[in-house]
Amino acid sequence: MRVISGSARGRPLKAVPGMGTRPTTDKVKEAIFSMIGPYFAGGSALDLFAGTGGLGIEALSRGIESAVFVDADKRSVDVVRANLQAARLEQQAEVYRNDAVRALKVLGKRETRFDLVFLDPPYKMTAIPELIGTMLEMELLAEKATVVVEHDAANAFGERIGDLDRIKHTDYGETAISIYRRSVRQADEEMEA
């Protein structure tokens, strides 16, 4: 595993010990960033089920200004910190060990807004619409936010979740990527209100 492009290009990333995490392959990571970027001019990201932190680190390397990494597993949090240090991006990151829903509530109280969110939970978890609903309720998504969901290809999520429209869906064997973007129409209505 490595950082594919940007300021930390080529830096190796550690895996989480054991079989509990499933790092995003370089092929899928490259596909994700070609769909949503590939580069960014600032903004903030949330890597909610961080695992190794590979997706959030790739976003930082490609120009995202700051990122928050959250994982419930202590080993994952330790690996994310080590990978951020290896990529020399630790100054742009916050890392927390917490349950996903609790973390969203804490971030909501801080009035944090994210332009880019990565949701790569364990494949058995299918509560993606509920998580996105919590993000909307806590006002965590910037007006034109993008949410990238990596999930089991056997699980299908709707064309629309809250005020987010699915703009892309691609299968890579057992893995699927669904990309949602906050509706520009909704964002315009909020600005007028």
Per-residue pLDDT of 175-192, as tens digits, reads 999 999 997 654 445 445
CATH number of the domain enclosing 155? 3.40.50.150
Amino acid at position 161, single letter: I
67 found inside a domain: yes
171 found inside a domain: yes
| Position 20 confidence tier, pLDDT thresholds 50, 70, 90 | low
19 found inside a domain: no
Q: Is the pLDDT of residue 118 over 50?
A: yes
Q: Has this prediction a pTM greater than 0.95? A: no
18 found inside a domain: no
22 found inside a domain: no
97 found inside a domain: yes
| Count of domains forming the chain | 1
Q: Which residue(s) pair with 160 in the sheet?
A: 165
Q: Is the pLDDT of residue 126 over 80?
A: yes
Between 82-96, 116-130, 149-163, 173-187, the lowest mean confidence (pLDDT) is in 173-187
Separation CA 149–CA 100 (nearest Å): 14
Of the candidates 114, 88, 95, 66, which has an alpha carbon nearest to the alpha carbon of residue 7? 88
What's the domain range around 113? 28-192
| Position 122 confidence tier, pLDDT thresholds 50, 70, 90 | confident
Separation CA 193–CA 190 (nearest Å): 5
137 found inside a domain: yes
Q: Buried b vs exposed e over 39-65: b needs ≥16 C-beta within 10 Å?
A: ebeebbbbbbbbbbbbbbbbbbbbebe
Q: Cα Rg for the chain, rounded, in angstroms? A: 15
**pLDDT given for residue 183 in this prediction:** 78
85 found inside a domain: yes
Query: How confident is the model over 53-68, as pLDDT tens digits?
Result: 999 999 999 999 999 9
CA 143 from chain centre, in angstroms, equals: 17
| Position 26 confidence tier, pLDDT thresholds 50, 70, 90 | confident
